[in-house]
Amino acid sequence: MKWIILSSCLLCFPVFAGPVDSMYDFLKNTTSISADFVQFYDDKRIKEGHVIIQRLVGFRWAYSNPRQIYVGFRNTLSFYDESLMQIIKHHVMNWDAFPLSIVLNPSRISRFRLTSLSSGGNVDFIRLVPKGFSSSSISYITVGLVKGEPCYWDIFDATHHHTTLDFYNIVINQPVSEKVFSIVATSGIDVIDVSRSSAVGSF
């Protein structure tokens, strides 16, 4: 999956109606979120898993099969691959490339133009288009909101491919322990610490 740059600022924004307002309200009022998800690449189902995000603290993105875990906490990205018996740690300068970084840090929404699209059934759609910041590798993002919660993300990159994330069993504002944002190395697991600073890559 490609990590996508997302961004935002809730302090000053023009008045929007409908789904765009709902997106801003969600970002403003959400301190944590957990959910199961199914991931597609160019409409082909490839992975599923569970994600936990605590605003301005960290995230845990876990795939179930094969079992892989990405944890972002402070300035460290840790990646665990069960098949390789390895934990790889990177120093990260920012989290712009994390797919849900606007949930991790809502101020990043200021880097996008938000537009309401047509609704389908009980889903309201909006489009997020980057304002041209140079590090962006995406063309646009379509977000589907159900009862004000962004349950569907369709992320189109500059090469005309797209990654889709369908979220379900969503839990909002449940207390999250910082222990969630760590990967403990048990016996037999190698830990590789990559000290070179880098932006988040792709996975």
Q: Distance of CA 64 to CAs 61, 68, 140, Å?
A: 10, 7, 28
What is the structure's pLDDT at 136? 59
Mind listing the pLDDT tens digit for each residue in 48-92?
999 999 999 999 999 998 899 999 998 899 999 988 899 999 888
Asked if 86 and 194 touch (Cβ cutoff 8 Å), the reply is: no
Phi, psi at 177, each rounded to 5°: -80, 145
* Burial of 42 per CB tally in 10 Å (0-12, 13-18, 19+): exposed
Q: Does residue 158 or residue 150 have the better pLDDT? A: 150
Mind listing the pLDDT tens digit for each residue in 85-126?
999 998 887 777 677 889 999 998 998 999 999 888 899 999
Asked if 135 and 201 touch (Cβ cutoff 8 Å), the reply is: no
Q: Band of the pLDDT at 15, cuts 50, 70, 90?
A: very low
Mind listing the pLDDT tens digit for each residue in 154-189?
999 888 899 999 999 999 999 999 999 999 888 888
Q: Does residue 9 or residue 144 have the better pLDDT? A: 144
What is the structure's pLDDT at 133? 60
175 upstream amide cis, omega within 30 of 0? no
What is the structure's pLDDT at 135? 52
Q: Does residue 32 or residue 8 have the better pLDDT? A: 32
Percentage of residues in the chain having pLDDT higher than 70: 85
Region 31-52: mean pLDDT is 96
Q: Band of the pLDDT at 4, cuts 50, 70, 90?
A: very low
Q: Band of the pLDDT at 127, cuts 50, 70, 90?
A: very high
Angle (CA) 46 47 49, round 5°: 165
* Burial of 45 per CB tally in 10 Å (0-12, 13-18, 19+): exposed
Residues 79 and 126: their CA atoms lie apart, in Å, by: 32
What is the structure's pLDDT at 86? 92
- Give me the chain's average pLDDT, please: 84
In the chain, what are the domains? Answer: 19-198 (2.50.20.10)
